[in-house]
Amino acid sequence: MIELVNVPSLITVQDLGRRKYQSFGVPVSGVMDEVSARLANYLVGNEDNTPLLEFVLKGPTIKFHSSTVFAVGGDVEVKLNGQPIKAWRSYWAKRGDILEIGTLKSGMYGYIAFAGGIACEPILGSCSTYLRAKFGKALSSEDKLKLGYAILTGKEGKQLPKEFVPKYEKENIVRVTLGPQEEHFTKRGIETFLTSEYTVTSESDRMGYRLEGPKIEHSDKGADIITDAIPLGSIQVPKNGKPIIMLADRQTTGGYAKIGVVTRVDIPRVAQTRPNEKIRFRTVSVEEAQDALRKREQMMKAVKLFLKGELRAYKLRVSEEEVIAFTKVEKKK
């Protein structure tokens, strides 16, 4: 069990989301940055969808009431019993230990994973918190959370290779596929969208990021459409011409024309962009978006197996860049 001693910002229990219920009007929800969350889970030996803690900007102080292995994901200073430790590394904590997590130096969301995950009663098959429907709640000081069972031996001391530590930028170029309502925008409107710089506003939240920048011009078809589905990363453009990127807690349907959809691999990049930071858009084909996702998932699988000790990492030089590669660990007979 863990106890939240100090909660300076929004902190919730999340997993990868509530699937198969969008046809009933239930949002997917789940973590905002699935890459950072999954990597934190890998460090403590968990599977991808294991419930963990997500915090915004400033992390909590946690007291351990039982021994466990944990890892913190994010660009942040961390202390265990007053002594500095590293993010993106797993550590052993014993009963009575105090974990203090500071303010993120970059990025918007941080993650805390525990071996075995957070024990919870799933709602519609997920432990994700969705505050608008009161699925779970925002955690507060003195809340206590039970941890799931896990064999802890050998899970501490895992370090994420620096090549795979996520980097959170203040100015991001985000890949998009155009449509599905491309005909609702003029050629000039689409050109404005693809050549302009937009700023994330303070009105942004887990549901969507509102952007400020040059107005995107609609065609004579206008901004409104017959309500249809809103996939993750949809970019709605209402009558004011200012784009909104729909994220984890997005509604399932909407009636504003969508000029594009952010590629799945760039959703974490968007999610980690803070208010007043910048986003630009670059168009890619559906095939290019699928290929990028395929490569990312191959990388995630390799990192997971590396942290399990099933792959060995080594560096090689490709052109002028050093990249990391993996080979299978030969088990002794």
Q: Can you give the pTM of this predicted structure? A: 0.94
Encode pLDDT of 159-195 as tens digits: 998 889 999 989 999 999 999 999 999 999 999 999 9
pLDDT confidence of residue 318: 59
Q: At what angle do helices 286-307 and 34-43 cross, to 10 degrees?
A: 20
pLDDT confidence of residue 309: 84
Q: Across-strand partners of 70? A: 91, 114
Say if residue 9 is in the same domain as residue 143.
yes
In a domain, 243, yes or no: yes
Report which DSSP code applies to 28.
-
Q: CA separation (Å) from 331 to 8, 42, 312, 325?
A: 47, 21, 12, 19
Say if residue 153 is in the same domain as residue 11.
yes
Amino acid found at 298: Q
In a domain, 165, yes or no: no
Encode pLDDT of 87-105 as tens digits: 999 999 999 999 999 999 9
User: Which CATH number goes with the domain that contains 195?
Assistant: 2.40.100.10
pLDDT at 75 over 90: yes
pLDDT confidence of residue 151: 82
pLDDT confidence of residue 54: 98
Encode pLDDT of 133-168 as tens digits: 999 999 999 999 999 988 887 789 999 988 899 999
Query: Which one of 160, 190, 219 terminates a domain?
Result: 160
Amino acid found at 250: R
Say if residue 97 is in the same domain as residue 65.
yes
Give the chain's mean pLDDT.
Answer: 94
Q: CA separation (Å) from 102 to 75, 106, 235?
A: 10, 12, 33
- For residue 140, the Cα-to-chain-centroid distance in whole angstroms is 22
State how many domains the chain has: 3
Average pLDDT over residues 311-321: 68
Encode pLDDT of 200-210 as tens digits: 999 999 999 99
In a domain, 151, yes or no: yes
Let me know how long the chain is.
333
Say if residue 189 is in the same domain as residue 240.
yes
Say if residue 73 is in the same domain as residue 123.
yes
Say if residue 109 is in the same domain as residue 258.
no
Say if residue 297 is in the same domain as residue 194.
no
Query: Which one of 122, 141, 160 terminates a domain?
Result: 160
Percentage helix, strand, coil, to 5, in the chain? 20, 35, 45
In a domain, 116, yes or no: yes
Token code pair at residue 264:
């799945």
Say if residue 146 is in the same domain as residue 89.
yes
In a domain, 333, yes or no: no
Say if residue 10 is in the same domain as residue 133.
yes
Query: Which one of 129, 160, 191 terminates a domain?
Result: 160
In a domain, 206, yes or no: yes
For residue 94, the SS3 value is: coil
Say if residue 146 is in the same domain as residue 218.
no
- Domain range for 13: 2-160
How many Å apart are CA 26 and CA 181, to the nearest integer? Answer: 23
In a domain, 166, yes or no: no
Say if residue 155 is in the same domain as residue 136.
yes
Across the beta sheet with 11-14, the strand order is 11-14, 52-56, 106-114, 68-75, 90-93
Angle at CA of residue 290, ends 289 and 291, nearest 5°: 90
Say if residue 238 is in the same domain as residue 316.
no
For residue 302, the SS3 value is: helix
In a domain, 81, yes or no: yes
Token code pair at residue 210:
């509102």
Encode pLDDT of 24-63 as tens digits: 999 999 999 999 999 999 999 999 999 999 999 999 999 9
